[in-house]
Structures are given as structure tokens and as C-alpha cells.
Amino acid sequence: MPFSIKNLVSKNNGNGHKKNGQTPLKLVGQKPKYLTRSDQIPQLTAEEKKQLEEVNEKFVFRTNDYYQSLIDWDDPKDPIRRIVMPDVQELDEWGQLDASNEEKYTKVKGLEHKYTSTALLLVNEVCAAYCRFCFRKRLFMNENDEVTKDVSEGLDYIRKHKEISNVLLTGGDPLIMSTSKLQPIIHKLRQLDHVKIIRIGTKIPAFNPFRILNDPSLLEMIETYSLPDKKIYIMAHFNHPRELTPKAIEGLNLLMKAGAIVVNQTPLIRGVNDDHKVLAELFSQLSFIGVPPYYVFLCRPTLGNETYSVPVEQGYQIFEHARTLCSGLGKRARLVMSHETGKVEVVGMTETQIFFKYIRAAVDENGAKFMAFNKNPQALWLDDYAEAEDEFPLDALQPMSGLDNK
């Protein structure tokens, strides 16, 4: 049979994911049912509903019937529940709304340009559910106007900046948009010779795989615009192995068969994946599917997120222990902080010191800089470390060719 996206879309049986003997949901062909209020969550106690509404007033709540079906309500510490259901500790005053100062790198409305080759286009401000630990929760607040539906100014900026070879479509979740709204943006980007990689940052494969399973036009769009020499990357967002349901895996496979390169990135979240066995299972399962684990992020110090944060040094130990349990293909992730000044990798630790290295830097002088700090077990972020004990900047490296080495 010739390759055709229509042939790839499964004739599925109309059932959602079945767990713990619960009745499977009838979801296929239907739109997800969104839930935004406590009275829509029958499993909560009256006290929990009251707390939810209290948190809800500050940080918006949204989930959907598919994702709710993955929660084990018999376990009050269920990790899926923790991803999406509010926690009263979010009301603790800690952190900032824009923890890595994205505003500083916003060049025109809806466009961020921090690293020379990469631009971010914020194409919407909605997700299929909201992660409680979201670092962009400010976008979902009423008074926010950082995102614009008309991205022409952002596209114009990209057109003029030939150094931009990567564009990340983000938000919000670009795949919450209909394919007919997303396609023109991708089409315009593909008309720009200098834009090689188009990334789509999305949690749809985890939050609502039926968005992929039920829309052949999405897969056709990927097939059209993910080219042999200029790929579309799907930056998926699975936090826990239990999100990798059969339907989610089916969705990921459809995206890959349509020609997308799929990778996964996840923050390290207390109560979700701060366990080396859970993290190892996530890495391994992703590698079995053919989705490389890419970045593991330490939680940005975003307002209300202290309860979700894992200290840097503890995070490093969990991450490295997890990697020891994986094959080489499962251990491709890097542990990083998306700091205002750049993407900083945690590369090692001794009894007394911890070592960081810039993978991406907002200013050239920090490019590839290596830094050694005295340890601080309480540190949750780069800024919690005192001045670096030692540094090795890029310009200290001696560029050598093979011949020079002789």
C-alpha cells in the first residue's frame, strides 16, 4: 500500500484508556470535555473543592475528561492528579510570574529572541489542560496580553533576521489550535529559506491524544512541511510514564510516521517524577517508542511553584541515578535550568562543589562557560548559589585542529 497519512490513522474502537477496571471513556470522534470548576470533579471532598476554588481564583484550573480518567483517585498522592489538580500550597508567596524574564527577550508582541539561532513564537494562550507547575502561568491570567492571535509582526521579525534557523511555536499549546489556523503559520515559515527547523512545543500528546488520532489533516500538514532537509520537531511533554497510554503512544507514532521528529522534555516535579525509578521508567519507555528524552528542567522559580520544586543537588542525584538504570538511548537527556542568562546544564558534583555549564547563552561571553560553585543543598535555582569559585569561559578554550594537535 502506498504511504498515505489517511491509511495511518487507525480505525480505533471508540474507547478511551481503561484503568483500574473503570468504564472506558467514549471519546473518539468527540471533542474533549473541559472541566474548569470544582463542582465538575465528583471525586473531590467538599473541603478539597473549597480549596480548589480558592487556588482557582489566583491560578486558572483546566483539565479534560480523558486526562482525568488517568487519575487513580484511591491514591491521594497520585502523580497524574498532582500534575493537573490544584494544591493549596500554590498560594504560598514564592517566586515570580516571569521567573526567567522572558519579557526582556520579547522583541515584538508574541515573539521572543534570546539565542541567536532560535526564536519563540507564542501562538496562543490555551492548553488542553493546565499543568499546575507551568512557568508561563502568567499567560493564562486575565490581565495578560503577551500573546497575539495575529502573528504577522512576529513572522515579519523572523523574515528580517536571517540568523534565525529554528522557530519554536509555543504558548500555550499550538496544537490546541485547529489545523486550519496552524497551517498558514507553518506555511509562511516554510517560505523563509533561513528557517530550517520548526518546533512545536506541545503537551497535547499527553493531555489529549485524540487531537492527533482524530485529525488526519494535522498529519497531512506535518507530511507536507516536514521536509527531508528541514524537519518539523514535536517537543512533547510527558512528565510521568503513566501518561504514555496506548492512545498516547499511537498518537506519537502517527506524528513520527507523518515525518515529524519527536523528542520529549519534562520538568522535574516534586511528587510527580522526583523518584529515580519513575524517571528511569519514563526515559526507558520513551526510548522504546523512539522518542529521545531531551531536556529535564529544574523548576523555574515561578510564582506559587515552590511546592513543585526539587533542590538542584537532589535533582542531580535523582537524574543521575535514573540514567544508570537506562540504556544509552534512554540516557540522552540533559539536566538544565532555563535561566534568564541562558540554558545552564548541571554537569557534575563532588563532596564540596557543583559544576554547571552554559549550553545556550543570551550573551556571547557566557557561551559554553563552565562554572564551579560551593554546594548549597537548599538551592532551588542558579541564583541561590554564591559567587562561582572558578570559571572557564569560552575564550579560554584553545581552538585546535587535528594538525595543530600533532
What is the smallest separation between the CB atom of 264 and ligand SF4, expressed in angstroms?
13
In the range 163-192, which residues lie near ligand SF4 by CB under 6 A?
172-173
- Amino acid present at 89: Q
Q: Considering beta carbons, is residue 131 or 282 the nearer one to ligand SF4? A: 131
Q: Considering beta carbons, is residue 145 or 390 the nearer one to ligand SF4? A: 145
203 binds ligand SF4 (CB under 6 A): yes
Distant-in-sequence contacts of 374-379, Cβ < 8 A, 24+ apart: 375/313, 375/349, 376/312, 376/313, 377/311, 377/313, 377/314, 378/311, 379/311, 379/312, 379/313
Q: Considering beta carbons, is residue 85 or 134 the nearer one to ligand SF4? A: 134
Q: Considering beta carbons, is residue 131 or 382 the nearer one to ligand SF4? A: 131
Could you give the string, one character per residue 224-253, with x where binding to ligand SF4 holds by CB under 6 A and - elsewhere? -------------x----------------
CA 358 to CA 356: how far, in whole Å?
A: 7
What is the smallest separation between the CB atom of 101 and ligand SF4, expressed in angstroms?
17
Q: Considering beta carbons, is residue 86 or 216 the nearer one to ligand SF4? A: 86
What is the smallest separation between the CB atom of 272 and ligand SF4, expressed in angstroms?
12
What is the smallest separation between the CB atom of 386 and ligand SF4, expressed in angstroms?
30
What is the smallest separation between the CB atom of 137 and ligand SF4, expressed in angstroms?
7
Q: Considering beta carbons, is residue 236 or 260 the nearer one to ligand SF4? A: 236
Q: Considering beta carbons, is residue 86 or 172 the nearer one to ligand SF4? A: 172
Could you give the string, one character per residue 118-137, with x where binding to ligand SF4 holds by CB under 6 A and - elsewhere? ---------x--xx--x-x-
Cis bond leading into 172, ω under 30°? yes
What is the smallest separation between the CB atom of 115 and ligand SF4, expressed in angstroms?
19
CA 127 to CA 201: how far, in whole Å?
A: 11
Total binding residues for ligand SF4 by CB under 6 A?
9
What is the smallest separation between the CB atom of 133 and ligand SF4, expressed in angstroms?
7
Q: Considering beta carbons, is residue 175 or 354 the nearer one to ligand SF4? A: 175
What is the smallest separation between the CB atom of 136 and ligand SF4, expressed in angstroms?
5
Q: Which residues bind ligand SF4 (CB under 6 A)?
A: 127, 130-131, 134, 136, 172-173, 203, 237
